[in-house]
Structure 1
Amino acid sequence: MVSWKFVTGVIAAAAAVVSAAPLEKRIVSGKNFDHFMVIVLENEDYAAVMADSYFSTVAAKHNGNLLTNYQAITHPSQPNYIAMIGGSTLGFSRLELFIIKSNFFSKSIVDILEPAGITWKEYAENYTQGSNGACNTATSLSNSLYMRKHNPFISFTTVTSNASRCKNIVPATQLQTDINSGSVPQFMFYTPNMNDDGHDTSLSTASKWTKGFLEPLLSNTAFNKNLAVLITWDETKDYDIPNQVWSVLVGSSVKALANNTDNTAYNHYSILATVEENWSLGNLGQGDVSATPFNI
C-alpha cells in the first residue's frame, strides 16, 4: 500500500521541478502562432527588392506570403523602428539626427507582452551589453556596425530604466545559444548590423546575408515550430515615391494564400496589431488600434 506521505512527497517534488523551469520555456499559446520574429532591413525600394534573385523566391520557397501592399510609416529610419514597437512615431519624423539618443516615456510592446507572461528579446548584431546586463545606450558600437537608432527598445525609458528588461537586449550571437538550449523567447526582434542590413553596403549584400541567416533557421524544425517570421524594410530608398516596402511572412504557422501573395493593406503598426490579436493583449492606444493584423 502506498503511503499518503510518499504520494505528497512525489507531488511536491514534481511541483519543484515545474517551478524551477526557466521562464523562457513556459509557452503562452497563441491563436495563430507561439513565436513571432521580426527582421528589419534598411532603405530599399520595393521594385528593386522584387528584382533580387533571392528575395523574389522567399515566399514561394517557404510556403509563405509576399505582402504586396505593405507601407512604411515615414522617413527616415528611426521613427519607423519606434513605430514598430510603440505604435507611433511619438511626434518625430524627419529629425533623425536629433532623436538618435532620444528617450521616450511612452509604453511599448514590452508593456503588453510581460503582463501576459510572454517572453521577448531584442537581438542586435555587434551590440554589447553594459556591466551586469545593463542597457548600453551608446549611439554606435563596433566601428559603427551597431547603431542605436535601429534598436528601438533602447529609446524607451520604460525599458532602459528596468534592469531585468535591459537583460533582454542582447548581442545577436545569443540567438544560437537560445536555440541550442530551447529557450528562445516568444517575441523576437532581430537587428542586423549596418553592413548586413544593406544600409552601408548594397541590396545584394542584404540578400546574401538574409539567405545565410534565414535558411538555417527555417530548416531547424525545433525553431520553426508554431513560428511566424516577418522580414521587412524600414523605408524606401527613394523618398519621392510611395513608401511601399517589400515584406514577407514565412514560417510553419503561416498559411499560404493564392500565388503566395497577400494584397491586404498593412503597415509597420500591423506588427503590434498582429501580436496583440494573437495573444489577446489589448493595445497601446496608438496606431496599433486601427492597424490590420497580418493574415496568418
Structure 2
Amino acid sequence: MKWLSLASACFLISHLVQCVPVDSDKPAPSVQGKHFDRMVVIVLSDANYADAIKDPYLSTLADRHQGLTLTNYKGLALPSQANYVGMISGSTSGVVLDSDANINDRKTVVDLLESKGISWKTYQEDYTPLADGSCNSAKNIGNYVRYHNPFMAFQSISKSPSRCQYIVPGTQLDVDIKNNAVPQFVFYTPNVNEKGGEKTLISNVSSASSWLKEFLEPKMTQDAFSKDTLVVVTWDKQSSVTTNNHVLTMLLGSMVNRSSKSDGVPYNHYSILKTVQDNWGLPSLGQKDVGATPFILKDLAGKPKNRKSFFG
C-alpha cells in the first residue's frame, strides 16, 4: 500500500489532533484557500540581495511566471538556523547558533495546518529517514544539514512517528508530482552543495541560480506548481555579516498582485507564516507572526466555492 503524503484524517483525542494516513491512490482532499490552494516554499542559502538581483536568471524569474520581486524583504537573524525556525513558528525561539536545536515548548505551522486537515510535507535534499520511519536527527547526511531543516528543531515533530513520515528526501517530490500526491504546504530545502550555501560560498549566487533553474523550470509546467499554487523563493539570510539582512524573495503564481513587477512593502520571514494563516483562516501562534505583514495577493473569490482543483 502507498501512504498519502499527508495526515488527511484527523480526530480530536484528549485535546490532541490525531491524524491517520490514508491510501495515496486516492486524491488528497483540498482545503480551499482565500488566495491559493497550495503554497510551495523554496529556501536557498546565503546571498546578499544586491548580488542575487544582478543574476540574469534570478532577476527575470518573477516576470517569467506571473510573479513579483519583493524588494524590501528581510531575514531574521544570523546565522542560518534561526531564520528557518522563525519561518514555521513565528519566533527564533532563542536559537542563535547552527548547532542542533531541540525546542519543546513552541507550536508551529504544522499544528495549525493539521488542525484544519491541510496537508504538509518538507522535502530535504540528501535527507534519509531511519529504517523504522522515525526522524533521522543526524547533523549531516551527505550534503544535508540539520540546521536547514526547521521541522527537526521542534520535538513536537521530530519525536512524533506520525509526523516524521512527512520529512522526506528531496527526490520524493518528483514521485509525489507523478502520483498527484503533493501536499498543500510544501517546504523544500536543497542540499548545501547545490543551493550555493556553505560549501560553495565563492560561487554562491551563480550555483544557486543554476540549481534553481534546473529544479524549478520543468516543475512550473506541472499543475502542482502552477494551478492555484503560490511559489515562494527566498534566501535564509544574506552572506554579509551586517544587521541589514536584505534577501531576494520572489512570489510566483496567478494570484500574485502584479500592479507592477516589484513590491517594496516591508516583509520578512514571518510573512510566510502570516500568509499561510491569512489564506486558510488559521489562528495566530501568538509570536511575532501576530504583527507580521502577509503577502499582498489576489483572492480566488471569482471561482465557485465547490470548484475542482488538482486534488480532485
1:133 aligns with 2:133: yes
In the superposition, the TM-score normalised over structure 2's length comes to 0.84
What percentage of residue pairs aligned between the two structures are identical?
Answer: 46
User: Would you say the 8 A contact 1:24–1:184 is kept in 2?
Assistant: no
In structure 1, distance between residues paired with 2:113 and 2:86: 16
- The one of 227, 236, 239 equivalent to 2:238 is 236
1:45 aligns with 2:43: no
Aligned to 2:109: 109
In structure 2, distance between residues paired with 1:49 and 1:159: 33
User: Would you say the 8 A contact 2:44–2:236 is kept in 1?
Assistant: yes
Number of equivalences: 272
In structure 1, distance between residues paired with 2:208 and 2:225: 23
User: Would you say the 8 A contact 2:123–2:170 is kept in 1?
Assistant: yes
Aligned to 1:153: 151
In structure 2, distance between residues paired with 1:160 and 1:25: 24
- The one of 44, 58, 69 equivalent to 1:55 is 58
Extract unaligned runs of 5+ from structure 2.
Answer: 1-21, 298-312
More helix by share: 1
Larger radius of gyration: 1
| Structure-2 change in CA distance of 1:222 and 1:123 (3 Å) | closer
In structure 1, distance between residues paired with 2:129 and 2:220: 28
Aligned to 1:74: 77
| Residue 222 (structure 1) shift | 5.1
**What SS does structure 2 have at the residue aligned with 1:232?**
strand
The AA in structure 2 aligned to 1:255 is: N
- The one of 167, 170, 175 equivalent to 1:169 is 167
In the superposition, the TM-score normalised over structure 1's length comes to 0.88
In structure 2, distance between residues paired with 1:129 and 1:272: 26
User: Would you say the 8 A contact 2:182–2:224 is kept in 1?
Assistant: no
CA offsets per residue over residues 7-40 of structure 1, 9 Å max, x none? xxxxxxxxxxxx9676861000000000001101
| Structure-2 change in CA distance of 1:31 and 1:195 (3 Å) | same
In structure 2, distance between residues paired with 1:64 and 1:241: 28
**What SS does structure 2 have at the residue aligned with 1:25?**
coil
User: Would you say the 8 A contact 1:120–1:188 is kept in 2?
Assistant: yes
Aligned to 2:259: 257
- The one of 218, 221, 225 equivalent to 2:220 is 218
| Structure-2 change in CA distance of 1:22 and 1:283 (3 Å) | farther
Q: Which ranges of 4 or more aligned residues in structure 1 deviate by more than 4 Å? A: 19-24
Instruction: Please show how residues 188-227 of structure 1 align to structure 2 within 5 Å.
Output: 188-199=186-197, 200-201=199-200, 202=203, 203-221=205-223, 223-227=225-229
| Residue 256 (structure 1) shift | 1.9
| Structure-2 change in CA distance of 1:125 and 1:21 (3 Å) | closer
Extract unaligned runs of 5+ from structure 1.
Answer: 1-18
Instruction: Please show how residues 78-97 of structure 1 align to structure 2 within 5 Å.
Output: 78-93=81-96, 95-96=97-98
User: Please, which moves more after superposition, 269-278 or 218-227?
Assistant: 218-227
Aligned to 2:34: 31
